[in-house]
Amino acid sequence: MELSEILDLRPEPAGGLLVALTRRCPLACAHCSTDSSMDSADHPDRERRARLLRFVRSFTPGSRPDVVLLTGGEPLLLPGLAYDLTRAAQDAGARVSLLSGLFFARDGGRIPAPILRTITALDHFSASLDAPHEREVPRADVFRVLARALDAGVPVSLHLTGAGPDDPYLADATAAVLREFGDRVPMLVNEVRAVGRATAGRTATGPGGPCTMAAWPTVAPDGTVLACCNQRTVDVRPAPPHLTLGHIAEDDWPTVRRRTLDSPRLRLLRTLGPDQLRARSGAGPAPGGYCAGCRALPQQPGPDDAAAAGAAGRLLDQLSAARLRAQGPAALLRRHGCAPYAHLVRPGGTA
Ligand code: SF4
């Protein structure tokens, strides 16, 4: 499964599932979007591991996400759990991708056997690359791991992060990847977001318009299932009711899928977005921007919620997803990533 196929599914409600296995990570990258560290208590004990497996085993061939993204923290701190979740998801026909910071590769790109077993079971493997990260794991070691995965027949990609379109690091790193791998390593190029360790002094902003991120449920490290992967939504409890889909201790995938598809408020976020919703309800712009405005939406259902609850609301939701998918993955990255590099989602191809 290539990066472009994963991103093509991103606007599809319940087309994917994000699972944050742990908040722990052995790296200490300054810009970390998840504020992860090895001290975090958000690491699954035996019971939470069993719950995660039970949740993924509730997938059936007729009710499953098309793709599961395993993230963290660092998901490869738990290679056995990642492997078991991968096989359980694949048994129901889902495909699995994992994003790693490659903490294990610092000594020359060596891959320990349990981690290699997990990587080679995946349908897609992604690694992070950026300037703070390169101080922890050298670029050459990252390239060695990617080459090893490619040799094993696993499609790979890189998630690069820079300060913005003019950041010379991004020009240098993307050129180096293209020199080393040609078109075999697609890239998702992002700008540092206003979350995690890099938050100080910045304000969360969003792209305006409909929210594509309200399409895929996210399992937070504490087992809560949220309607989006926004880091503040994942981190802060209690989460807003309209962004809470359940908990893996009580709910299975068919239940989470139904709530994702049928929630009038989520349909409205996917078709109109929080700014329009706030304007239509008379709430006005929220301090803090797009996602802050979403989290602070009035909980009382209004006329828009009533309209979105019916068959017309479902149809509009489906049409909105189809329109966004027709625009292609590069258009998605022009809105949500670092626009001048969006074409690298399919290097050498038509994006
Ligand atoms: S607008 Fe709302 S649903 Fe969308 S990413 Fe932000 S907080 Fe999540």
Sorted by where each starts, the structural domains of the chain and their CATH numbers stand as 3-257+329-345 (3.20.20), 263-324 (no CATH)
How far is 255 from 59, CA to CA, in rounded Å?
11
How far is 70 from 53, CA to CA, in rounded Å?
13
- For the stretch 161-177, pLDDT in tens is 999 999 999 999 999 99
Q: Is 291 in the pocket of ligand 1 (CB under 6 A)?
A: yes
Of all protein residues, whose CA lies closest to atom 3 belonging to ligand 1?
214
**Residue appearing with tokens 């706030």:** 278
How far is 151 from 113, CA to CA, in rounded Å?
16
Helix (H), strand (E) at residue 226? strand 224-226
Paired tokens of 243: 């962004």
Chain centroid to Cα 248, Å, comes to: 18
pLDDT recorded at residue 348: 77
Average the pLDDT over 232-252 and give the result: 96
How far is 162 from 335, CA to CA, in rounded Å?
16
pLDDT recorded at residue 273: 94
- Inter-CA distances, 23 with 77, 78, 95, 136, Å: 10, 11, 23, 18
**225 Cα: distance to centroid of ligand 1 (angstroms):** 14
Q: Is 274 in the pocket of ligand 1 (CB under 6 A)?
A: yes
Whether the predicted pLDDT of 134 surpasses 80: yes
- The model's confidence at residue 201, banded by pLDDT at 50, 70 and 90, is very low
Contact 96, 70 (CB under 8 A): yes
pLDDT recorded at residue 150: 98
Using CB atoms within 10 Å of the CB of residue 193, give its burial: 0 to 12 exposed, 13 to 18 middle, 19+ buried. middle
Choose the residue to mutate in 236, 244, 295 for probing ligand 1, maximizing ligand atoms within 8 Å of C-beta: 295
**302 Cα: distance to centroid of ligand 1 (angstroms):** 19
Helix (H), strand (E) at residue 70? strand 67-71
Average the pLDDT over 182-199 and give the result: 74
pLDDT recorded at residue 33: 65
Of all protein residues, whose CA lies closest to atom 8 belonging to ligand 1?
228
